[in-house]
Amino acid sequence: MNKTIAIQGAEGSNHHKVARDFYGSEIQLKECMSFDVLVDSLLDGSADLGVMALENTIAGSIIPNYALIDKYNLHITGEEYLHIHHHLMGLKGQKIEDIKEIWSHPMALLQCKEFFKKYPHIKLVEDVDTAEVAKRISKENLVGIGAIAPKIAAEIFNLEVIEDEIQTIKDNATRFVIVQTQESNNEIDEINKASLKFELNHKRGSLAAILNVLSDCKMNLTKIQSIPVIETPWKYSFFVDITFDDFKNYKKAVTIIEIMAEDFKVLGTYKNGRK
């Protein structure tokens, strides 16, 4: 695997874990501190593939990422549903009583807030990225500073996990997608999911008609997300995920919806990541 994979965040992050799950540990990583930078790296050719979080069971859809995929005509070629585990880590030999401050991404701090109520001596400090903090603690030998990060970060940066599974809601998962500038070359017999985007006139029953087509063609609707069309008030783009057993039925549905909807686009065809 000689291709370069862009991830949002640093080595040791959940995005990195997804990249490893898809392409193995011997991969070339390009760390991006924002999703905009990730997309730029795909467009300028400094990365071949990107890993992008798209929705979370607690926080919901990451709307700006839908917009980025649409605006820059990126193609979804795969997906993974990753259970999110937050672990408290620091330099080896420290106990939780030794930790004075926790530096982490605001979302990670929020998802672990209940745990830290038991430790009022610890100050919670917002930072840019979970894994980047772990890397900094290791590199700068920061005593008394803890990070909230995936276990992969502790392994990579030789830190010690002080407390396991500190997230408040234990059943928390994020859907990640693999994106690239070229269309998917997935084999037809592997494809059982598609992501579509279209716009509709603001007429009664227009969305219902599309949903009926999906149902008639034996498509299973797993996600529908509306996003306002900025240039046209009260008009919306719809992003739809569908799963299916027969690729021929999918092609039939696409052929019909292309006629019925405006600005229709197939964002990707790939293998369903749900086990």
| pLDDT tier at 275, thresholds 50, 70, 90 | low
pLDDT in the model for residue 18: 96
For the chain, list the domains and their CATH numbers. 4-84+172-180 (3.40.190.10), 87-163 (3.40.190.10), 191-270 (3.30.70.260)
Query: What pTM value is reported for the model?
Result: 0.91
User: Tokens standing for 167?
Assistant: 């997230």
* Cβ proximity of 37 and 133 under 8 Å: no
User: Lowest-pLDDT range, 94-108, 111-125, 193-207, 212-226?
Assistant: 193-207
Which tens digit of pLDDT belongs to each residue from 32-76?
989 999 999 999 999 999 999 999 988 889 999 999 999 999 999
Taking Cα atoms as reference points, which of 204, 172, 176, 7 lies closest to residue 77? 176
Q: How many CB atoms lie within 10 A of CB 69?
A: 25
Q: Which residues contact 54 (CB under 8 A, 6 or more apart)?
A: 61, 62, 65, 66, 79, 175, 176, 177
